[in-house]
Amino acid sequence: MIQTNSSEKKYATQNQMLEQAANQKNAGQYEDAFNSFQSCLEQYPGCAEAYCDAVSLVEEQASLNISLEEFGTTYNTESLQNSLITSMQTVQAAGKIEEALSYSGALCTLDPGNWMFPALTGKLHLNRGNFEGAISAFDAALHLAPDNIQCRDNLLKTFYYLGAGKFDANTKRWVSQFLKEPDTVDIGVLARVWLMLLFTDPDYLEIMGGLQHTDYNDFKQWLDNLSEETLSNITHDYILDGLRICVVANINVERLLAHLRRTILNYSIDNPNQAPDWATGFAFALAEQCFLNEYIYEETEDEKEQLEILVKALKNNKDITPFSVAALACYRPLNSFPALPKTFLKILENLPEQEEGLFQRVIRQQIEEPETEQKLKENIKSFSTIDNETSQKVRDQYESNPYPRWISTGAVENDEGNFVFSETDPLQHHDILIAGCATGHIPIKVCKKYPSSSVTSIDLSLSSLAYGLRKAREMKVENLEFKHGDILELENLKQQFDIIISSGVLHHMKNPEAGWQVLADILKPGGLMKIGLYSELERQHITDCRQYIVDHKIPDTSEGIRQIRKIIAGLPEGHAFRKVMPFNDFYSTSMMRDLLFHVQEQCFTIPRIAKALNDFDLEFLSFSMLLPQAVQQYSQMFPDDTSMTNLEHWNEYEHRYPDTFTGLYQFWCRKKQ
């Protein structure tokens, strides 16, 4: 007989007990099976399988008449929790998501007060593409931890993945809350979900009827017949908060807003003292939206004439009301009328309280903040001159159109840091460089996540840096320094970094690899780098559209931008150029310029990325920002590549699914030791 040591013996006995319980279950002897699982747990308190199977049995067999709540917490010990977590991770790594879900469900039952377990369940559902399951799990997690940023962010993303369907009051409740606390979620996703809900929300169905009136006169007639109650709905916080924070990325809703803007302008000329209630509340939020999209809406000749009348009246101090100022701010930034601010401030002194806040917001956004940015430019030090010819052209573009104009950083994306956060301690000190930081939203996010680190942010555009510095001061971010200069000259900083992030930047250089080499040289051995680059395959339609712009001599001006937007929006459904229409970039001037009129860009392929990584001694770690279905499809195509790091496979995958890297390839890599 073979001697076994005691731990092997114990293991065998545990298995025997599990087997016996399973046999009883299969034979329909549910009570006996349940008792066997319990005996097993009593003898082996850390037995994840026994606990998990018992929970499933109780859930499946109502005839047992056992309360899951009561049974659930009976065996709650650290060892059982740990072994359930380990079992869940093991089966998850093996791609057995169903099994992983039963372990995560068991963990929720074991410790119902712990938000982490429903949050884990939500992530598993998300990986499986079960968005409804994910929503109820994240919802449950947020009931336990209402402020948890990761759960909020995941819940919102899931609403987005689920897409528009029936109106759902729970989604609206969350979205309304996120609009009030936009720093807790991804703002781009928030904008999409906010807009998506508008189409099915019973509160706005009537207003959305305006979408069908393309002609302004038809629209006006229709508007005049709406009841006051219907019109008052557009001053709900849900609408106004959304307009202030989110760029409206839908061409039909944009037309509706443009019609409403024109109505506001008419009122401001005809009767500025008696504008309807809805128009006053709405005009201020629309002014903020128009500033945010940099006045991208089309203007008719009629509007241009009316605008001149309005400006004249304001300059002559005639009929100045907060409403007429709001109407003007819907068409032009207020700081483009240097003679006017004193008049505006005078108005402010006599405003009723409820209008004061609205007015102040617009004055702050359109006069005070740009003034502050102008002054802050003096505080930004340069580490190099900008001598490279391409860098000079790129700088000029971003000096006149700092990009992006943002209000809130949103939450730190889960993915932003998956690698960094699992491999580095956010509370430890790291030297971090953001190369091509633009208007500062990425550096500020990173600073929030890494409060003990020093973050250096560099860019060619002083206007963009000043925007970032103003936001950083407002948000009291102290571990961040903005510096002006060219990536090509970064060795002047005489510093090495633990983490470097450069997203959407290198492809705007004449020789992106030369810039990348500089970044690799100043990354410490073992340091992490995140790079974002345009994909040649995914951007084919953009490349073609850029060529169309050149061929048709469409100028790189606000008018030119409006012209190409009109052309694209008028193309038949299914035309490749229309692929740009669902994206935010289509709905703001600086983003459109960045997207279709850039002075310098070139696209990458995965083999080109692989070569550069090899040349610079960088090891590929992971693509980020992949949609769940891409992860699923890739795993099915290449089940052996569990780390999903084989770039040859990814190249094959991208050729099969060319829309995978929408916007950018974004990936983490590490400098070899």
Query: How is 146-203 classified by DSSP, letter by letter?
Result: TT-HHHHHHHHHHHHHH-S-S--HHHHHHHHHHHHSGGGS-HHHHHHHHHHHHTT-GG
Nearer to ligand SAM, 280 or 391 (CB): 391
Residue 520: closest CA among 532, 510, 528: 528
User: Minimum CB separation from ligand SAM for residue 491, in Å?
Assistant: 13
Task: Give the residue at shortest CB distance from ligand SAM.
Answer: 436
Nearer to ligand SAM, 262 or 395 (CB): 395
Nearer to ligand SAM, 101 or 531 (CB): 531
User: Secondary structure of 446-505 in the HEC alphabet?
Assistant: HHHHCCCCEEEEEECCHHHHHHHHHHHHHCCCCCEEEEECCHHHHHHHCCCEEEEEEECC
Nearer to ligand SAM, 413 or 498 (CB): 413
Nearer to ligand SAM, 508 or 671 (CB): 508
For ligand SAM, the binding residues (CB under 6 A) are 391, 394, 398, 403-404, 436, 438, 442, 458-461, 464, 486-488, 503-505, 508-509, 515, 594
Strand 480-484 to 454-459 pairing: parallel
User: Minimum CB separation from ligand SAM for residue 458, in Å?
Assistant: 6
User: Minimum CB separation from ligand SAM for residue 585, in Å?
Assistant: 10
Give the DSSP H or E segment for 396. helix 389-400
| Amino acid identity, position 435 | A
User: Minimum CB separation from ligand SAM for residue 77, in Å?
Assistant: 47
User: Minimum CB separation from ligand SAM for residue 364, in Å?
Assistant: 23
Nearer to ligand SAM, 213 or 393 (CB): 393
Quote the tokens at residue 487: 């990536």
User: Secondary structure of 278-328 in the HEC alphabet?
Assistant: HHHHHHHHHHHHHHHCCCCCCCCHHHHHHHHHHHHHHHCCCCCCHHHHHHH
Helix (H, G, I), strand (E, B) or coil at 1: coil
**What is the Cα–Cα distance from 237 to 357, expressed in whole angstroms?**
14
Maximum distance among all alpha carbons in the chain?
Answer: 108
Nearer to ligand SAM, 185 or 358 (CB): 185
User: Minimum CB separation from ligand SAM for residue 631, in Å?
Assistant: 23
Q: Are 265 and 310 in contact (CB under 8 A)?
A: yes
Q: How many CA atoms lie within 13 A of 550 on its CB side?
A: 9
Residues 6+ apart with CB under 8 A from 451: 426, 427, 479
Quote the tokens at residue 440: 């500062």
In degrees rounded to 5, what are phi and psi of residue 294? 55, 45
User: Minimum CB separation from ligand SAM for residue 621, in Å?
Assistant: 19
| Amino acid identity, position 15 | N
Residue 183: closest CA among 472, 408, 443: 408
User: Minimum CB separation from ligand SAM for residue 502, in Å?
Assistant: 7
User: Minimum CB separation from ligand SAM for residue 437, in Å?
Assistant: 6
Nearer to ligand SAM, 178 or 516 (CB): 516
- Would you say the C-alpha torsion 557, 561, 566, 571 has a positive or negative sign? positive
Length of the chain: 673
Residue 443: closest CA among 428, 422, 459: 459
User: Minimum CB separation from ligand SAM for residue 391, in Å?
Assistant: 5
DSSP at 602: -
CB neighbourhood size of 261 (10 A) = 22
User: Minimum CB separation from ligand SAM for residue 155, in Å?
Assistant: 24
Nearer to ligand SAM, 18 or 438 (CB): 438
Nearer to ligand SAM, 172 or 508 (CB): 508
User: Minimum CB separation from ligand SAM for residue 413, in Å?
Assistant: 12
User: Minimum CB separation from ligand SAM for residue 623, in Å?
Assistant: 16
Nearer to ligand SAM, 370 or 468 (CB): 468
Quote the tokens at residue 159: 């609403």
Q: How many CA atoms lie within 13 A of 494 on its CB side?
A: 0
Nearer to ligand SAM, 383 or 657 (CB): 383
Nearer to ligand SAM, 80 or 488 (CB): 488
**What is the Cα–Cα distance from 294 to 588, expressed in whole angstroms?**
6
In degrees rounded to 5, what are phi and psi of residue 72? -45, -50
User: Minimum CB separation from ligand SAM for residue 394, in Å?
Assistant: 5
Nearer to ligand SAM, 210 or 417 (CB): 417
**What is the Cα–Cα distance from 77 to 142, expressed in whole angstroms?**
24
User: Minimum CB separation from ligand SAM for residue 398, in Å?
Assistant: 4
| Amino acid identity, position 282 | F
Quote the tokens at residue 640: 């052996």
Nearer to ligand SAM, 394 or 523 (CB): 394
Angle at 125 between CA 124 and CA 131, to 5 degrees: 150
Nearer to ligand SAM, 25 or 508 (CB): 508
User: Minimum CB separation from ligand SAM for residue 663, in Å?
Assistant: 10
**CA 309 centroid distance within chain:** 40
